[in-house]
Structure 1
Amino acid sequence: MATDRYVVLGLGNARSQWFTDLARWATSAVVPVDFMKCMSADEARARLASGRSFSALIGDGAAHGFDRDLIAEARAANCAVFAIEDPRVERDWVSLGCAAALPRHLDRSTLLAALADHSTPVIRADASSISPEAGTPKGWRGHLIVVTGRSGAGTSSVAMALAQGLASDPRNSGLVALADLALNADQSMYHDATERIPGLQELVEAHRVGRPTIDETRSLLFTVEGRGYDLLLGLRRHRDWTALRPRSLEAAIDGLRRCYRYLVCDVEPDLEGQDETGSIDVEERNAVSRLAVDAAAAVLAVGAPGMKGLRDLVGVILDVSDRTAGHQSILPVINRAPRSPRARAELSATLHDLIDRSPSPPVGVLNPLFLADRRGLEHAHRDVAVLPAALVSPLAPAVLSVIDEAAPAALEPSGPRVVVPGSVGALSDEIAAS
């Protein structure tokens, strides 16, 4: 219909030539566009969240705040995104989620062609057909393994031991990474990192405005020579989580999975979001744990023996199960466990009894893995030496078994399947007649 118009948001400098031209064309009705100027990324976000339908967001390539997160928010609002190229900024805008990159000297025909190809006019009960998955890189991804537990359970030690065990296989040489994704990051202390840069913040920042290559991503990690894995250092201070924007963080985790066959993540067990607490701030603070658990091929819940340790372990298992809805296997790990088979059997029975007594017993909880107390572990941490075999040996085979068992289910297609002619059979005459 001739009355249909494109509602376009513009983010850029008011003195930019394309900004001025587009406003003039819209005002004089030379193009069927309602143009709304935004002087900042926050203003663009406010308009996108207003509930009004928009056809497109056009952002200047040099505009502050025009990054992966803003692009993702616009796409979530069914709004196509275009970037005006700037010679001072070299970015792959399409990989960031933009529908297209437009030339700096924009003309009307180029603008209308882009709008016609990638967006729709705003009409009554209009819904854009933009796919939210466009711009998502395809291809191989490594397995992400989450290790989580309450403070004092030995979560960081278990994560290091698992990474060392996986890296001990020659087939995984250079393909195992340990990422410290905890808000209270301790891996830098355990690895005697005199410099805590680069780390998680630099990795997320690199994915905020682009898609680093595999070599660029791997350059942000440190190689732990004696143990065979690469280490991503965590946050330097707890409050630095405010710099981790959700979309950029998700892209950063995905970028690590493109580089490594096994990515072991040391995360905290706080998984509450806005639905549980009513606070978006809580959800963003816990975003790193939530994203890691969502992408995990296996989750290790670490706890200690004793009344307090088992109580904490059950709480972690229930929280993880609520987040995964039973779609991922949870392997309980009882650290510093007694060596007596009878004592271990009692711990296992007590753990499952406590889980079964919960209001909503989770599914997918495996039998616990016991790790005995080790002497000399503190010295190994201090010297960044090879961890004891008693700690390392049981972990990797158990985790690989969990991943292998889950692989067939993960490979099952979730969408419609092509039906081979003749494979369905035929209705009998009685059924067809009825």
Structure 2
Amino acid sequence: MTTITHRLPQKRHLVTDLPGPRSAELTARRRSAVAAGLGSAVPVYAVDADGGVIVDVDGNSLIDLGSGIAVTTVGASNPAVADAVAAQAHHFTHTCFMVTPYEAYIAVAEKLNELTPGDHEKRSVLFNSGAEAVENAVKIARLATGRNAVVAFDHAYHGRTNLTMALTAKSIPYKHNFGPFAPEIYRMPMSYPYRDELGTDGVAAANRAITMIDKQLTADSVAAVIIEPVQGEGGFIVPAPGFLPTLADWCRSNGVVFIADEVQSGFCRTGDWFACDHEGVVPDLITMAKGIAGGMPLAAVTGRADLMDAVHPGGLGGTYGGNPVACAGALAAIDQMSELDLPARARHIGEIVTSSLSAKAQALAAEGRGVIGEVRGRGGMIAVELVKPGSTEPDPELAKAAAAHALSRGVVVLTCGTHGNILRLLPPLVIGDDLLREALDILGDALTVD
């Protein structure tokens, strides 16, 4: 990896208990100003961030293992991204591409057409968020096929809008009491090797889902199958080998649009530019956001030209979609991913994390405290599934306690999973090895909390 000079010292440094007094003051202000339905994973407030660290309002420097949920892949203040954003903002912040278009939007679309899986002719359209990209991918698939049904999977997370809530599997907190939801959504079993009776037989798991589709529907009624190649909020579930290719082949044989939701797994996160690349799966449509623009709000749908161009003029768009400042950030961020070879960096991070946590799992098991059921994932997208010792029963309380203990020591780590029992690690891909290992040592200690 080409070296990058960080603006902030890359070290953990605590000067107060967490949260500190200034963060506590802001929390009090927040209660009377911000809607209670908006949660935050940690009770500290940021004033600066760079590389692998976040600095809070009290002067504490924390190790970041969350990347703003896989967004700040190139760092939260990457100088190339910051300079590109500032330069664009100096000229104009908005004209609306649907009114007065600009070159940067076209340049981002060209780059996405080049980078995404497959060498077929493609088109792209830009939006604001991952959920918006998913909504529009479904719109495109339904219009292009003339069909209505959409197949999603257990443990899926696709967003918080009405349609994407219908696609999302987990009820609390994402769906509870927010219905009724969009119709014509059908849920099928996911390949979840740790908990699946079919284990690592991905072909059998895919055929199980296909059989259920055939029972509940007919293939000629299905507009799209949508799946995260590595599931995110559902628990960083990596389907067994053969699962995705078998589904994609079935879709291709039946005129069904195969949508890969790479909002969280895309842009080098799993050690490839896109998680689909791992098994050579070429989706018909791919949705992207999060890591696409170095922290600027941007999302996209890229796909087969015949599908994308099937939509009538005006059928796609949005006031802020492809904002020029966000496009400038995306072009700079993608350049940084290439220049720094972040796919290789992600694989290196994955080796460090997996080795450390697997060793911890073995040590805990030898002590009769086998609380780590599985360490899984790819590249810089790794999960630790926590269970009650001697069983596979999920232990969400341990996950919560471990994340809290890690924070008290200055490490930001997120939880996820259908049962809330999973620690998910999404460090910036520009984090240094020493800082990462220090965070993993603290996380290992956190798994022994009482």
Name the TM-score class by shorter chain. under 0.3
Structure with bigger gyration radius: 1
Higher relative contact order (CA 8 A, sep 6+): 2
